[in-house]
């Protein structure tokens, strides 16, 4: 049992106004950072490995995360699952360097999309990349035909919680 209460957050996609966040993507593009998905890049073995490496690197900064999955565990937990969809994996790319990712899974049978992980490499933080990635990825909820996006954070992850509140996520109380 964790010694804390998870912060459960939810966004109503119908109320999300992407135009409020357009400047973040514009600024990123001006700096040479582009956004795409794993589906568009190719859901290949090499790209799955790159997703893992980036996720692992960024997860080192999640409070209370502990040891990260091995690659095989990651495949089993996050990729070779019915809820995985490469269209839900947004990648931010600077040149040929992957500098951020936001991975959402398809939980439409439960009525929502779930953000499993959003991470930006340390050198790239504070430039609006996470806001731009999550705005870019909002269409995944439409693809899944749901209006709700959920995520959950350790209460010590104040940066990620602030980032999601900035987008309009509110406290939710699901079981």
Ligand X SMILES: CC(C)(COP(=O)(O)OP(=O)(O)OC[C@H]1O[C@@H](n2cnc3c(N)ncnc32)[C@H](O)[C@@H]1OP(=O)(O)O)[C@@H](O)C(=O)NCCC(=O)NCCS
Binding site for ligand X (CB under 6 A): 58, 61-62, 117-120, 125-131, 153, 157, 159-160, 162-163, 166
Provide the minimum distance between the beta carbon of 109 and ligand X in the complex, in angstroms, as a whole number: 22
Decide: residue 50, CB within 10 A, 0-12 exposed, 13-18 middle, 19+ buried: middle
Provide the minimum distance between the beta carbon of 14 and ligand X in the complex, in angstroms, as a whole number: 22
Structure tokens at 9: 């957050």
Phi, psi (deg, nearest 5) at residue 99 = -110, -10
Provide the minimum distance between the beta carbon of 103 and ligand X in the complex, in angstroms, as a whole number: 9
- Report the residue number, 42 or 107, with the smaller CB distance to ligand X: 107
- Report the residue number, 51 or 160, with the smaller CB distance to ligand X: 160
Bridge partners for 31 per DSSP: none
Provide the minimum distance between the beta carbon of 130 and ligand X in the complex, in angstroms, as a whole number: 3
Provide the minimum distance between the beta carbon of 7 and ligand X in the complex, in angstroms, as a whole number: 11
- Report the residue number, 42 or 123, with the smaller CB distance to ligand X: 123
- Report the residue number, 2 or 45, with the smaller CB distance to ligand X: 2
Contact predicate 153/104, CB 8 Å: no
- Report the residue number, 131 or 141, with the smaller CB distance to ligand X: 131
Buried b (16+ CB within 10 A) or exposed e, 8-47: bbbbebeebeeeebeebbeebeeeebebebbeebebeeeb
Pairing of strands 148-153, 7-12: antiparallel
């Amino acid at each position: 049992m964790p010694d804390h209460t998870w912060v459960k957050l939810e966004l109503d996609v119908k109320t999300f106004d992407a135009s409020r966040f357009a400047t973040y993507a514009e600024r990123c593009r001006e700096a040479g950072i582009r956004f795409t998905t794993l589906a568009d890049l190719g859901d290949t073995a090499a790209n799955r490995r790159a997703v893992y490496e980036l996720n692992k690197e960024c997860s080192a900064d999640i409070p209370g995360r502990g040891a990260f999955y091995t690659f095989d565990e990651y495949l089993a937990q996050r990729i070779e699952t019915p809820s995985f969809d490469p269209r839900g994996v947004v990648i931010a790319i600077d040149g040929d360097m992957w500098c951020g990712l936001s991975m959402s899974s398809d939980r439409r049978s439960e009525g929502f999309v779930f953000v499993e992980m959003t991470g930006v490499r340390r050198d790239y933080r504070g430039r609006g990349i996470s806001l731009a990635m999550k705005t870019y990825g909002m269409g995944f909820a439409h693809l899944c035909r749901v209006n709700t996006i959920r995520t959950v954070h350790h209460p010590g992850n104040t940066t990620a919680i602030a980032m999601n509140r900035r987008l309009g996520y509110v406290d939710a109380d699901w079981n």
